[in-house]
Structure 1
Amino acid sequence: MYRFLPLSYSYLHALKWCTSSHRSLRFMETIQQRSQSLKELLLKAWRERWSDVQWSTHMKRILPPGVSGDAYKLTDIILTQAFVGPNPNSLMLSYLKHIIVSQVVSHTAVLSTIIEYETVCITRPYCMRGLLEILNGCINRINCQGSMEECLTLCQSFLQVIHWLLHSITLMLDKMPDMRDLQVMASNLDIISEILRITCTSRVNKLLLFVAKLEDKATWTEIEETVSSIRTTLFAIQSQQSQEQPTRSKLTDEIQSGSSQLDQFLSAPRTTHASQGANKKDKGERTTESIRERLERSLQEVLRLAQLDSSPSPCSNSLELKTMSSCIGVMTFMEAALNVTGDLQPFVDQLLLVEQLQNLPRASVYLELCQASLLGLIDLPDTCEELKWLAFTFIKLPQILARMKQSPSPRDSTDSALHFISCFEQLLRFNVLIDQADTKHNCDCMQQLLQQCSKLGLITENQLRELLAARSATRRAPVQSRSSGHGSHESPQQLPNSTLVIRAEPTSTSILKKWDMDYSKNPDELLGVLGHMMSGKSFELIIAVLATTGKLKKFTAKLIKFNEQACKQTQAEVTKGSQVRAALFDISFLMLCHIAQLYGTEMVTSNGGDSFFETWVQQCIPDDNGAKPLGSFPAVEPSKGDVLLSQYHSGMDIKTMQARWNEVIDTMPYIMQEVLFAWENGATNVDQIQKLIDNVASKLCCLPICCVAWLCSHIAVLASTERNRALSLLQIICSHQASSQLGVPLQIYDNERNAMMQIIIRKMCSTSPVTNPMAKTSRDVPSLPPATPATQVLSSVFAEIMDKGCVDRRTLALVDQLITCGGVLWFCRGVVLEICSLHCKNDLTMAVEVAFALFQVDIEQLTLTLTRKVLPRILADPLNFEKLSNPRGHALARLTVWCIAATLTNHTSSRDSKCKESPFRLLRGRKRPRMDLDREDSSVLKDEARPSKIRRLLSVGDEDNATSTLTGSVNYSTGFLVAQTLQQLNEPFPRALVSLFQLFSSLMSSSMIGPRTEFVISFMTEIIHCSEHIASGVLQFAPITMMSQMLNTSSGQFLLDLALAIGRVDSVVARRLAAKALCHNKTGRF
């Protein structure tokens, strides 16, 4: 009786392995047997001279149903039998051509087998001719119906064939002088060059090779080296014949004879059909070129594969013949008015982006910049704004033009100097505009602008003289010659501001260099420099130039350093030294306050320091949003405040040697609070308060400024019935006049300091409607009409900009206030509704340009709002389908793409400039506090992470798992074209793109085709016509399933452009998708 013993797991595993190994051996034996059967069948077909049909019939009896001949190396078997002798077997080649056409073998196997014959071009040239005939027959029929990996392998094999052809050319050129069959090899060279030309003529073939180039960079590098080697060899053969040989031996004569004969073959004209019989419809086209010329042209076509571009996008201007853009003028006005202190490169990048998106000529971009700058010079409210515009026009604008010159135009490859000449010649036609600017500023604006451009090398001296002569011929009202200012001996008060601004540029640079010195041992010299800067308009001129050139932050950092040093009491300080220290503190404090009011508090706080003034200006000084809260003012010990208050009441002088001026500044709110409390309770009267204010102002001019700052904050929290005393006290301070009979102990530059103090106080009072009457001047910034709804104001402003094609100071101020009052969500929705209310295509294109320019006020937040809030609501509501119908839907898609492109461009600019901000946050120039409020208030944009939906999107994969843990325990998502880390997806802008593509994916998977689907197609069309950087930066967040679906359902030129855009995305999955779409393309070759 048998007893069954339990089998161990290792025994079962070994038994299973033996079974699988046995099956593998049987499978390999079956392949070998059938391969041998195919060889025998092939020999039998050759002996009996079977036709192609007979051969195919018998062959399919051996091959299993549905199995390709690649598994049995059928292509290699046939070619091996075909190339037994020096000449190819034509019957065998016909069998091979038949199975290629009938798709028994794949093109990948054919191409892979061909490249194995490396030296056949010189050992058996007639067999090489046979290979070229096979290659020529399938070059325009290359396709693959397999998986993505098989399609990408086909692309790589295709690229390797190109390398094989170029390598064959190299071998033939090297060995042809020693060969006898020159005629055959020359003919082979001609055929190879024609095959290369045909390959590079077909757009599908170029796309296949481009995808392979991105995947197999090593092969492409070898191709470039081979092309260089071929060109060197051709040049050597040609130059060798031109050299004379004084002495020749017998061997030398033979070599020279072979080289001469080779050069004759290469240089002899040959008349052939355009495509060597590859395309029957081109039979009538005949070309007469030498082999050398054909080779040079073919090599050039091969190298052009590296710069493959998408099909040119249609002109996106309002009219096809229009070469101007409204948004450039609006952006220029916005840059000069709201962002004068901004860095130069981000604005230049935005201009280049607009040029590429709208397909504009470079000269038109230059013209729009100059025209908008001249328009801004005419519409100016006061001297400070005038100096800003003059500095922008005559200093920053030439630098912008010079920076743009460094980037070649994608549309026009002509000389960059011709672009400037064309720009200025067209600008001279606006003689009325130039005349008004000349009259407004009493100068020759064109002369000064052209001279500044000439200094930067944009135009030559001869071109400068010709343009000035043309301007003189069209000028109506001549201006005085002093406007040039360079050779004038008149006083600065008599010179125009434009000349003073130009002269202030080298002065400001020299001041910054001098301030690198250590003035702690010689403060008198520093005080002299600061005091001289305060005289007249010197300080406004210098800071206007510094703001334009981007050096204002460096200037303020040095002022803060001087102010901080003046706060501290030095040892063994004498009376005069202490007075100089007090004057330095006062002047630097006034200068910094003035800069903060004109250019924003971030100009003095962006350095990230913890100095006294940086802290004070953030906590106390009123800004565009009004007064600061009372709780932000520093707390002071009552004992110190009472001591100073008693000194002010009695008129005693403050001992400057013992004073710490930062502590004195901090006590001023306490003193004002006590004075106001005493006045309200009848403990003092107006005369005593007037005397106290005079005593305070006689000490330091910065002390009344601190009093006004606290009063503005105190008045803001009072009821209207409780403001009388506080407003009266504010009125006393504002009406204070400097007097020389007060016995002022600090007489150093007293008049200049008092004048600047009055300017600062008036500016502080003008920030609030309650205190604005104390400024004795009306606000120069237009305000929103109180009785008109904001929606109507937005509609009227938008219509006005579209009608004029530009903005002015009033319109831009209204736009800024609309965003401040309504928020980015309301403003973005309102602009989109204005676009969707139009019907004419030209009006819609114009509206997109205007909207894109207005969005530059806060491009990042408006783009986030558009992609995450406005668009999803429009796409989700069936009632909005009419708004999405073309051409409105296409216009909205274009606006969305342009905003996304602008945000990505800002990201690149911040990364290149090594900005410390978040990579997707770039706040250029003057920051508006509205941005921070919007980021805090629009919590939807922050808290709308929806991790469950994000996780669901990340789990979508085509052939890979949803998430995988890589080195470093960082979670990656492979559901996109490019694997993204979860940290990257937590950024606001990438998260917005992910949400948008998730919405698009759901719309594309819907069974209903309508305006929403058309909107997605329009969006993708605009994306693929952007630059490579923009398209790749957006498509990297696209889901794989969505891109695969779009490729499968697209055709024609859109399919090819989309495949190119996807193939450029730096990932293997993207290249596989592109290769599959191109190989499955059945719409014909383009």
Structure 2
Amino acid sequence: MSIQIKKEPTGSGISSGLLDIKKEPGSSSQNASNTRAVLVSKIKMNLMQAWRERWTEIQWAIQLKKLMAAYCTENVDVAEILMQQALVGSSPNSLILSYLKHGVLSQMIPYHTVLKYITEFDDFSRPYCILALLHLAEMFGSKISLSPCQDSPLQLVRTILSLIHWQVKALYICLQRIQENKSTVAAEYFVIMDNASRAIINILDRKAVRSLMQIAKTDSPDAYREFEQCEMNVGGTISQLPSNSQLGDTREKINSALLQLSKLNDMSPSFEPVLEITNSPICPTINSLVVLEAILNSSSDIQPFVDQVLVVSRLMKLPMPQLCLEIFRVCFMGFVDTNDFSEDLQWATFAFLKVPHILNAIKEKMPDWDMSSHVERGLDMLLEFSHLLDQTDIKQNFDMLVQFITELQKANIITESQKTSLCMKRSEQRSRLRPSDISGSNEGKNLSRVTHAEATVTSILKGSATLDRMLKTSSDVPVKSLDSDPHRNSESMIKVLTIMLQGHSFDILRLAAASTGRLHDFMSKLIRINELASQTTSESLKIPNRNQLFDVTFLMIISIFQQNGLGIALSNKENEYALVVQWAKRWLPEEGKYKNVEFIEEQDKVDAILNLMLSSAEIIPCGQIASWKEMIMYLPYALQEILFAVEHMALNLEKVKMIIDHIRKQNIKSLLLVCTTYLCSYMNIVGAAARVKPLKMLEFFTISLGIDTKQPIQAIIDNIIYDILPEGHPQRPIRRYQLSSKKLTSEIMNETLKDSFHRGWLNMASLHTLEQLLVLRGPDWFCAEMVEHLLKQNHTDDATQSLSLAFAIMHMDLERMTISLLRRVLPSLLTTPQNSLLTDPRGYCLAKLCVLSITATHMSKIGQKEPYVRRRHKRLITEVDMDDDFDDGDTPPAKLRKLSEPQLSLSMEDFNLAALADKEDGEVLPSLDMKDPLNKALVNLFQLMNTILMNKTLSSRTWFIVSIIQEAIKCGGTHSSFIFQFMPQNMLNQVMRSLPGVFSDEHILRICDLSTLSGRKMAAKAICNNAQIPQLNLFD
């Protein structure tokens, strides 16, 4: 809208001398508006006198200040009065405009007020007025100080947006006039376009202004859309005008202005990777993540691993072909590194079965990627490591790469032509091997059986005519799958399950089911069959050979529990009350932790089982023992009666040996498992002196079992007795990876990390050692030791490689180790003054580790389907129960154990979330889950860092805090927003006061949450202050 200009009449009210300022006498009844009207009238009179007498700017300013001082209680918009008087006719009053200019430059008049009135003037029929206003706009917009008042940082943002929009609008209106009247356009309009273009270029040439425009985009979205539409109209209109039109050089100036405007859409900074490995032949992070997934997380769903790998590759800015190479190469490194066939099976199932599923999942998540060409390029790069491929083929006596490529082609990841080309390249390489190098072991061919195991698992779960062929069973076996009716097909089912238990067949099937995400279904079907076979005698009379069916399924299920954890069965609530699950929860040791043997039993059933043990009868459900459930649950207490009799000298050892031999000769091997489990649990709760008799009985049970060591029963019992038998005992199983009792755990940890960090990747020995140390000492100790070793690195390259590996090791138990890092390790380092461990590059690498761990933990929480899923190969049932109990109620327990060391927590400190942000009127703070330990840890950490900054002492701790903020900025997107939402509002100001210029405008825009009013205010204020300070460019 046009500003309405009222010309003041000249008359007797104007004297020839200086204006006599006299305050009107007031009365108690005089209205304040009348006083203001009098002041406005006198300002106008003063202005007219100054114009008539040609006062200088200083004379006019002195008189104006005297007048304002006389009416100090009144507030008058002097800029509006000057604008009205200056724009009376078709041409502006240059003298009054000079007064206006002087008032702004002398800070008598707020410049954003003048710019506001300039942008409201839209009478383009007066081109000379427009030219004068363009001159003022260019001068004020490009030279005036960006120092807003404390209460109006956003006013500057809105004013700049209006100003740029007005100038673009001037271009558009002039271009429209040229388009409509091509031959009769006044020359003034070309001058307007030249000046407007120059003003836009000069104003937007300041980086701070461009940054403030980004805030305006969020603060005033509707106005910004109108501005963008006007810019598009200018571009479209000028493109429609012929090149030979009257524009001439003006066209180039307008195009230059449009180019400057286009930079507003290009403000996203390109930061360097958060994690970058430059001098290492492999990527330690991806390499070690794949090792963890293949060995420790074999039964996990692939989606969390896919999310982890994609996040890491994005933070590292790793190209997709390079990512494929890292995943492929570590598989072959694993084949070479292992000397145990069971680990070979794990690598084979991961490489041949799981990797194709992983690549397909990545393809679904990134549909725009040309996965086929990326994988082909990765395989081409893998072929350059011919020495590694040759070592794998020589060890396995099999063309492993060709088998791998074949599986990728079967999964439709690469085409048939790509497969042929790659196989020919590998065949040419392999032809250089000596015949003697690739002859001998048949383990490679055995490993290739895992590719058939996937079809076998599908057959077992869904039913297929290929089951007999896959399991190499006889043609008279009619069973199709585990869904078959045990009442009619129990004999055939027993034959199939018995074949599955022979040799490594069950391991292959278990790993194949785990790698393809079907282990839960496989487990559920086994539990269903076991539950049917364990029913009372009257209910299961129609099931022939139910004892053998119960025994074989019981052993299979317990073997899976030992390898993958009991929590895997609890994903299906229907399994919770099954006999085998109840027995495992009651008796099965977990990670060397045995269960309590005290239990209320029915003595008559115990006596019935005891009679079976003392007689020569077969130990099966009969008489008072109506089901296998009663047999399994009460058998330990019958054995307990025998043990008590031995301890009280009522039975001699010879008689005990006869009883135990009778149990061992039974066809039901589950009885042997139940008895050994009870004896181990009993020995765990008694003293050393009382262990002699039960240890002797345990020896009778385990000595010379005469069972193939590959059978599940032998492996199950070995796992149970390993932790209870003393070191050096002849019957204690020999394990390849075990901690030495002759060294402290800290020494073992130090040696393992030193070797791994120097090597740059995790081998099998280091992986299993670190896993045992984590289970033994817990995440707090483990994380503290790893960080301590990381901070010993003094060279940047060594520190970066160690950081990359340490970040991967954190994924062994990501959430708990991240919480330990944030709640234990960092506060300990930050509360130690003059701590040299935080000096760069050590502090810089530790900051990267913190940010990477927080980001990875946050992403894992977003992607996990169930609340109790953790990225480890096992999940203890005690952890599942704890999480379930925690989720049942929102209120904490009435009484809590008082810890010797106070822990920071929101509930204990009565923390108020309003401290995280200056809440504006009507603004709602983001909702945070205060039960989430990661959120609590981040809140407490930022509080601690803010307290350190308030100390106003520069130290290595200050630079460490800046490094954390800088690395969080590099993460970008939702990752940065998640971290900075816990940052107190005054923390950015504290950092910029301590280290002026440490953050650029791009950094500030990333730190502040522009979606909130308080965040926009903080960003605008910080950018304006930053414009007065030279940038340090410490991180660019």
Q: Same fold (TM over 0.5)?
A: yes
Q: Which residue of 2 aligns with 1:835?
A: 790
Deviation at residue 991 of structure 1 after TM alignment: 2.6
Distance in 2 (CA, whole Å) between partners of 1:701 and 1:25 is 107
Residue 896 of structure 1 is aligned with which of 841, 850, 859?
A: 850
Q: Which residue of 2 aligns with 1:277?
A: none
Identity of aligned residues (%): 27
Distance in 1 (CA, whole Å) between partners of 2:1003 and 2:70 is 36
Whether 1:500 and 2:432 are equivalent positions in the alignment is no
Distance in 2 (CA, whole Å) between partners of 1:1010 and 1:114 is 49
Deviation at residue 984 of structure 1 after TM alignment: 4.1
Q: Which residue of 1 aligns with 2:874?
A: 926
Paired letter, 1:896: C
Whether 1:846 and 2:805 are equivalent positions in the alignment is no
Q: Cα–Cα, structure 1 residues 341 and 695, in superposed 2: closer, same or farther, change >3 Å?
A: closer
Residue 152 of structure 2 is aligned with which of 137, 150, 153?
A: 150
Residue 1069 of structure 1 is aligned with which of 999, 1010, 1014?
A: 1014
Paired letter, 2:452: R
Q: Which residue of 2 aligns with 1:470?
A: 425
TM-score by length of structure 2 reads 0.81
Distance in 2 (CA, whole Å) between partners of 1:144 and 1:22 is 43
Contact 2:699/2:731 (8 A) holds in 1: no
Deviation at residue 266 of structure 1 after TM alignment: 9.5
Q: Which residue of 1 aligns with 2:351?
A: 393
Q: Which residue of 2 aligns with 1:886?
A: 840
Contact 1:151/1:1072 (8 A) holds in 2: yes
Q: Which residue of 1 aligns with 2:529?
A: 562
Q: Cα–Cα, structure 1 residues 352 and 68, in superposed 2: closer, same or farther, change >3 Å?
A: farther
Residue 214 of structure 2 is aligned with which of 205, 210, 216?
A: 210
Q: Cα–Cα, structure 1 residues 68 and 54, in superposed 2: closer, same or farther, change >3 Å?
A: farther
Paired letter, 2:392: A
When the two structures are aligned, how many residues end up with a matched partner?
966
Contact 2:917/2:984 (8 A) holds in 1: no
CA RMSD of aligned residues (A): 4.6
Contact 2:536/2:626 (8 A) holds in 1: yes
Residue 611 of structure 2 is aligned with which of 646, 650, 670?
A: 646
Whether 1:944 and 2:903 are equivalent positions in the alignment is yes
Distance in 2 (CA, whole Å) between partners of 1:941 and 1:556 is 44
Residue 444 of structure 1 is aligned with which of 387, 391, 399?
A: 399
Distance in 2 (CA, whole Å) between partners of 1:696 and 1:64 is 109
Contact 1:654/1:699 (8 A) holds in 2: no
Q: Which residue of 2 aligns with 1:637?
A: 602
Q: Give the 5 Å matches for 1:415-814.
A: 419-454=374-409, 459-475=414-430, 496-514=445-463, 519=485, 524=490, 530=497, 533-534=500-501, 537-569=504-536, 574=541, 577-608=542-573, 609-631=576-598, 635-648=600-613, 649-652=615-618, 654=620, 659-678=626-645, 681=649, 683=651, 686=654, 689-690=657-658, 693-694=661-662, 698-720=666-688, 722-723=690-691, 725-734=693-702, 755-770=711-726, 777-783=733-739, 785-814=740-769
Q: Give the 5 Å matches for 1:220-231.
A: 220-222=224-226
TM-score by length of structure 1 reads 0.78
Q: Cα–Cα, structure 1 residues 638 and 501, in superposed 2: closer, same or farther, change >3 Å?
A: same
Q: Cα–Cα, structure 1 residues 59 and 1030, in superposed 2: closer, same or farther, change >3 Å?
A: same
Deviation at residue 808 of structure 1 after TM alignment: 1.0
Contact 2:85/2:96 (8 A) holds in 1: yes
Contact 1:224/1:303 (8 A) holds in 2: no
Contact 1:621/1:627 (8 A) holds in 2: yes
Q: Cα–Cα, structure 1 residues 860 and 112, in superposed 2: closer, same or farther, change >3 Å?
A: same
Contact 1:380/1:386 (8 A) holds in 2: yes
Paired letter, 2:934: F
Distance in 2 (CA, whole Å) between partners of 1:1029 and 1:1058 is 15
Contact 2:396/2:443 (8 A) holds in 1: no
Distance in 2 (CA, whole Å) between partners of 1:718 and 1:38 is 100
Q: Which residue of 2 aligns with 1:258?
A: none
Paired letter, 2:750: S
Deviation at residue 111 of structure 1 after TM alignment: 4.0
Deviation at residue 805 of structure 1 after TM alignment: 0.5
Q: Give the 5 Å matches for 1:80-479.
A: 80-85=84-89, 93-117=97-121, 120=123, 123=125, 127-141=129-143, 144-164=146-166, 177-179=179-181, 180-181=184-185, 202-222=206-226, 262-264=240-242, 271=249, 289=252, 297=259, 300-304=262-266, 308-309=268-269, 312-313=271-272, 317=276, 319=278, 325-404=283-362, 419-454=374-409, 459-475=414-430
Give deviations 1:934-959, integer Å, cap 9, x for gaps.
99999859962477994588786997
Q: Cα–Cα, structure 1 residues 1025 and 653, in superposed 2: closer, same or farther, change >3 Å?
A: closer
Distance in 2 (CA, whole Å) between partners of 1:52 and 1:269 is 38
Residue segments in structure 1 that go unaligned for 5+ positions in a row:
1-20, 239-261, 273-287, 484-491, 740-750, 967-973
Contact 1:317/1:324 (8 A) holds in 2: no
Contact 1:727/1:771 (8 A) holds in 2: no
Deviation at residue 706 of structure 1 after TM alignment: 1.3
Distance in 2 (CA, whole Å) between partners of 1:471 and 1:54 is 92
Q: Cα–Cα, structure 1 residues 494 and 839, in superposed 2: closer, same or farther, change >3 Å?
A: closer
Q: Which residue of 2 aligns with 1:916?
A: 867
Whether 1:1056 and 2:1001 are equivalent positions in the alignment is yes
Q: 856-865 vs 767-776, which deviates more?
A: 767-776
Q: Cα–Cα, structure 1 residues 532 and 856, in superposed 2: closer, same or farther, change >3 Å?
A: same
Paired letter, 2:718: R
Give deviations 1:177-210, integer Å, cap 9, x for gaps.
3345387667766766666666666432232122
Q: Cα–Cα, structure 1 residues 340 and 59, in superposed 2: closer, same or farther, change >3 Å?
A: farther
Whether 1:869 and 2:817 are equivalent positions in the alignment is no
Q: 593-602 vs 578-587, which deviates more?
A: 578-587
Q: Cα–Cα, structure 1 residues 389 and 125, in superposed 2: closer, same or farther, change >3 Å?
A: farther
Provide the secondary structure at the position in 2 that maps to 1:650.
coil
Provide the secondary structure at the position in 2 that maps to 1:839.
coil
Deviation at residue 27 of structure 1 after TM alignment: 4.7
Provide the secondary structure at the position in 2 that maps to 1:579.
coil
Provide the secondary structure at the position in 2 that maps to 1:625.
coil
Contact 2:298/2:346 (8 A) holds in 1: yes
Q: Cα–Cα, structure 1 residues 952 and 661, in superposed 2: closer, same or farther, change >3 Å?
A: closer
Deviation at residue 992 of structure 1 after TM alignment: 2.2
Distance in 2 (CA, whole Å) between partners of 1:579 and 1:139 is 93
Q: Cα–Cα, structure 1 residues 1027 and 516, in superposed 2: closer, same or farther, change >3 Å?
A: farther
Provide the secondary structure at the position in 1 that maps to 2:951.
coil
Q: Cα–Cα, structure 1 residues 478 and 67, in superposed 2: closer, same or farther, change >3 Å?
A: farther
Distance in 1 (CA, whole Å) between partners of 2:540 and 2:749 is 61
Q: Cα–Cα, structure 1 residues 203 and 591, in superposed 2: closer, same or farther, change >3 Å?
A: farther
Contact 1:342/1:926 (8 A) holds in 2: no
Q: Cα–Cα, structure 1 residues 529 and 188, in superposed 2: closer, same or farther, change >3 Å?
A: farther
Distance in 1 (CA, whole Å) between partners of 2:676 and 2:76 is 94
Q: Cα–Cα, structure 1 residues 931 and 616, in superposed 2: closer, same or farther, change >3 Å?
A: closer
Paired letter, 2:793: L
Contact 2:397/2:442 (8 A) holds in 1: no
Q: 35-44 vs 997-1006, which deviates more?
A: 35-44
Residue segments in structure 2 that go unaligned for 5+ positions in a row:
1-25, 464-480, 887-895, 1032-1036
Deviation at residue 1005 of structure 1 after TM alignment: 1.8
Contact 1:395/1:548 (8 A) holds in 2: yes
